[in-house]
Structure 1
């Protein structure tokens, strides 16, 4: 981890992201955080840039017998990204993938509805949208979120994350207009290693950031 900064917590990382966005001249209209861990950062970005905060939701599709190993992800509108290399390298078949896709799409829709309550999804036409998360590893959920946003009429979509491995960040740059990443360490083992405080964020805590 030599040469890489550590972030005090997610709020600190969000404040540093906001500074980087401002320094790069990105005139954002709205921040969309990926729940749950992205919301403390999204709140900091939104406050620093004086823009609204909302959410974009995707759920990971785990491999058979290894739910933490992402073979894809699906967003709340059903937009799906599949990791073809991981799919081929596991005992996954099309039936399993389609079943898990449908289940996780439903879970993503329910989470979006729970977080928004009676608020409508934001109108993104013609806007510069900043998608915020607390970091990426494989980037599976970020890819599904970007895929659904690429189908909107947003003018520009920016992915803003504090940290991610170089190969993941390089590949994400081909899937959106701009990627802002503060740290791309080669000794990457997991997002949490770059935070002094990386406690789990509950749904209840995450939703408070939308209410502020």
Structure 2
């Protein structure tokens, strides 16, 4: 284990992001697990916090394994190696894609409550998740942020596989990750407490950020 909680991981991660304080950054957490990490980063950088909505496309019989990911605005990244190795058919991929598009729309409504997406034009955007195994989800988040006009994209994660970090360096302007074990396995293995968050925990953190900056 490397981190006790996501909040602790966020505080540790923030120490590696102090160089961004003068850049007026916008912190975006990937729901749900990335938001507690992003909250601590936003507090340390005294930056606004919002969510960036993407959904992993999990292999049907092994949902934790990402064969790709989708994001708002029809953004999509596919991990062809996983699809081919797993023998995932086009029909199976489309079924998962449809289901996750529906969940993406539901989460947008639940977490934003009808509020429009935060404008990112010209901003330095810090994309935060609780960890990366393949990097597919964060790659889509970069795509969504870039399409929304972000001037610079920094991907910040407490733990990731070396392969995921290499993948993101092609997509993001900067990748910050203090812990890159060679044999990561699952992201949850890097945490003592890696419980499944619900929407209420996420919306409370977003509201708390808004109150502290009011």
TM-score norm. by structure 2 comes to 0.90
CA shift digits 1:2-47 (9 cap, x unpaired): xxxx222111111122221114777342100001111111111111
| Matched residue, 1:18 | 14
Change (3 A) 1:176 1:195: same
Q: For 1:81-120, list aligned pairs within 5 A.
A: 81-120=77-116
Match of 1:40 in 2: 36
Say which of 153, 170, 177 aligns to 2:149: 153
1:39-94 Cα shifts (integer Å, max 9, x gaps): 11111111111111000111121223333322111113221110101111223222
- The Cα RMSD (Å) is 1.8
Task: From 124, 128, 146, give the equivalent of 2:124.
Answer: 128
Q: 1:200 to 1:103 in 2, by over 3 A?
A: closer
Distance in 1 between the 2:148 and 2:183 partners? Answer: 36
SS of residue in 2 equivalent to 1:210: helix
Question: 2:47, 2:63 → 1: CA distance?
Answer: 36
State whether residues 80 and 101 of structure 1, in contact with CA within 8 Å, keep that contact through their aligned partners in structure 2.
no
1:33–1:55 contact (8 Å) kept in structure 2: yes
**Contact 1:72/1:140 (CA < 8 Å) preserved in 2?**
yes
TM-score by length of 1: 0.90
Give the alignment partner of residue 202 of structure 2, picking from 199, 202, 206: 206
Structure holding more helix per residue: 2
Deviation larger for 89-98 or 19-28: 19-28
Structure 1, gaps ≥5 residues long? none
The offset of 1:160, in angstroms, is: 0.3
**Structure 2: how far apart are the matches of 1:87 and 1:142?**
18
d(CA) in 2 for partners of 1:198, 1:33: 16
Which residue, out of 172, 187, 193, partners 1:191? Answer: 187
Pick closer, same or farther for the CA change 1:168–1:63 going to 2, 3 Å: same
**What does residue 60 of structure 1 align with?**
56
2: distance between equivalents of 1:75 and 1:125? 18
Q: Aligned residue pairs: how many?
A: 208
1:107 match: secondary structure:
helix
Unmatched segments (≥5 aa) in structure 2: 209-214
Matched, 1:174 2:170: yes
The CA distance in 1 between the partners of 2:123 and 2:94, in whole Å, is: 33
Query: How far apart are 1:155 and its partner, in Å?
Result: 0.7
Q: How far has the Cα of 1:146 moved from its partner?
A: 1.4
Mean alpha-carbon deviation: is it higher for 29-38 or for 186-195? 186-195
**Is contact 1:31-1:130 (8 Å) kept?**
yes
Structure-2 separation of matches of 1:128 and 1:99: 35
Contact 1:130 1:159 in 2 (8 A): yes
Secondary structure at 2:200's aligned position in 1? helix
